[in-house]
Each structure stands twice: as structure tokens, then as C-alpha cells.
Amino acid sequence: MATVPIELLRCPFCAAAVAEDGAELRCDGCGRVFGVTDDGIPLMLHPELPGAREKLAEAEGWLEKAKSEGWYEPDDAVDRALPFVNRELGWDNPLWLANGHSFQILLDRYVQQQRGLRVLEVGAAKAWAARFWLERDCDFVATDILIDRKIGLGRGAFYGDFGRVQADGEALPFPDATFDITYCVATLHHALDLTKMVREMTRVTKVGGTVAGLNEGVRGALRNADNPDQQAEKDLGINEHVHTASAYALAFLRNGVVLRRVERSDGWPPLPFGYFLSKVPKVGMTLGTLVHATAAKYVGVSFYGRRAK
Ligand SMILES: C[S@@+](CC[C@H](N)C(=O)[O-])C[C@H]1O[C@@H](n2cnc3c(N)ncnc32)[C@H](O)[C@@H]1O
Ligand SMILES: [Zn+2]
């Protein structure tokens, strides 16, 4: 029935196992009931979860934004090329440049030749990354609060057969230490509580596994936390925040994640501030990027870490 093995699901309230109960799932611990869509997506973003109202409102906001901006209807040629639409379709889109670059670094540095990994993406939307995990024989689970058939997890069927679960990144419905890699792309800044989302992503990752937040827009230390560029999305109910790079770094470190690399998500060197520091072997790029992002106005940054304990 569900797109994921039921043994992998846990109640986001009490962490107990869930069991099939007719067309629904029922928690063995607290008895709460979770729906499942016709296409097998378990609905684990329960309305009683903290912040559920705001998160479900955000999901509606994305639909409105996509419809008003003309990208609601899926285009197979585009979806097949994501995230590399600049390279493959000749686009000149800075967002996809940064998403694509950061994702390629995740594959090149932290996956390398490994196959058969257990991988979780938080805030996956259509789950365009699925094709890269499936071709590496990975058990991929895509989660998001957005399940729409055209721009949400429902569209994931286009990429093949893999796990899709409606879930809140701040209350993940999975057991501890399950995944080899847990990551998100441009999603951490939607968390109502950044530290909580990083804590949850870390909890479900195996010790030694990779926890990464790719392409997060960060603000310089002296910049306002109200980024005017986000106002239109906020007006639609989308939960937008702009944290400093050090707030992200702290959220990782506090949760026991050692940062292995922090860099500009578009791959550009941290110029001018931080450039010379970035040339220092090993930790240089991380330190140079943190200096650069602290001095910059707004810049996209990617964080790659390892769960240490
Ligand atoms: C900027 S979009 C990025 C989508 C996708 N990662 C991509 O690159 O195409 C942010 C995504 O985060 C999702 N999101 C927002 N809050 C979330 C939460 N609390 N838990 C999980 N996903 C969330 C949104 O629904 C949206 O799909
Ligand atoms: Zn429960």
C-alpha cells in the first residue's frame, strides 16, 4: 500500500511503530491515525504536530506561487534535466546553478563510488534527485510537506519507484540511525525551528553518516533578518527565514555534526573576503566561506557534515 516499507515508519509523536489499519496507518503507541494517499504516500504531517497549521498553509502557498508564476504544469523535458537545467537545457538560472553544483559536490565527495546507501531527502518537492540515487542502487526516501501531483511528492512517480512520505523535517517519522545520508536542498530556512530540523535530520542518520544542508540563503552579520526578496513568498504563507552562516554552523555543531565542508553553493570562490583563507589546506574553504558569508549581503551556502556520535 505505502510507497515505503511500513517497518521504516515511526509515529512522529511517540516514536512507536505504525501498523496498517484498513486504508490508514495507526500508531501502536498513542493510537493516532495517519492517512495514505491513493498513490501510496503516507501522510505523517499530522495536524496535531507543532506548527502543522503553518506548514500546511505553506504547502498551499507553494501551489499558489507555482500557478501564478506559470510553473505549476510539469514539463517532462525540464523535470528530466533537473537540477542541471543550465547545462542541459541552456538555462541561465542562478538558483538551479547553485542547487546543481551543491548536489554534485554531495555525490562527488560524500557518495563517490558507493552504491546501495540508504538516503533521506527532507523538503524534496518533486524528488528530482531520485534518478541519481536509483542509478546508484540506493534506497531513497523523499519527504516533503507538499504532496501535490504536479509540484510535490506526487510528481515523484515520474522518476521511478522509491519511498515518498509526507513528513515534517522537524518531526521525522523514521527510527534513529537509519540513513547513511540525510540532506536537504534549500529547505532548512523554511524550518520554524532550525535547530530542531537539524536535530531530527541528525537523529535519523547513522553515526558516521552524512548530514547536509545544501544551498541555504544566508545573510551577512549586519544584514536585516527581514530579507525584502522573501516578502512575496511570506505573503503567500510560505515560512521564509534568512539566518547567518554561523547560525547554521551552530545548529549543526550543537547536534553533534562535525562540519566537513562549507562552501558557496554556486561553487564560486569566497571573493573578496575569505579568499586567501580558503586556500589553506583542508579547513580553508570552510573558514573562508564563513568569513565571506559573514561579511557579504546575502549569499547561498552549502553545509556538509558528519554525524560524530
Ligand atoms: C525552496 S523549496 C526546495 C524544493 C526542492 N528541495 C528543490 O530543490 O527543488 C523548499 C521545500 O521545502 C519544503 N518544506 C518547507 N517546510 C518543510 C518542513 N517543515 N519539512 C519538510 N519540508 C518542508 C517545501 O514544501 C518545499 O518543497
Ligand atoms: Zn504515536
CA–CA distance, 269 with 293 (Å, rounded to integer): 11
The arrangement of strands across the sheet holding 139-144 comes to 163-166, 139-144, 118-122, 179-185, 205-219, 298-307, 257-264
Q: Give the mutation target among 41, 85, 165, 187 for probing the ligand 1 site: most ligand atoms within 8 A of CB.
A: 187
Q: Which residues surround ligand 2, an ion (CB under 5 A)?
A: 11, 13-14, 16, 27, 29-30
Ligand nearest to the CA of residue 34, numbered in listed order: 2
Count the alpha carbons within 13 Å of 110 in the hemisphere toward its beta carbon.
25
264 confidence band (pLDDT: 50, 70, 90): very high
- Rounded to two decimals, the pTM is 0.98
**Atom 9 in ligand 1: residue holding the nearest Cα:** 125
Domain ranges of the chain: 50-307
Residues with CB under 6 A from ligand 1: 55, 58-59, 62, 99, 122-125, 144-146, 168-170, 185-187, 190-191
pLDDT value, residue 136: 98
Ligand nearest to the CA of residue 236, numbered in listed order: 1
More confident residue, 222 or 90: 90
Other Cβ atoms within 10 Å of 307 Cβ, number: 23
CATH topology of domain 50-307: Rossmann fold (3.40.50)
Q: What pLDDT digit, counting tens, does each position of 118-128 carry? A: 999 999 999 99
Q: What pLDDT digit, counting tens, does each position of 12-67 carry? A: 999 999 999 999 999 999 999 999 999 999 999 999 999 999 999 999 999 999 99
Q: Which atom belonging to ligand 1 lies closest to the Cα atom of 99?
A: 8
Cα 236 vs. chain centroid, distance in angstroms?
20
Q: What is the mean pLDDT of the chain?
A: 96
Q: Is the pLDDT of residue 284 over 70?
A: yes
Ligand nearest to the CA of residue 147, numbered in listed order: 1
Report CA(4)–ligand 1 centroid distance (Å).
Answer: 20
CA–CA distance, 41 with 22 (Å, rounded to integer): 15
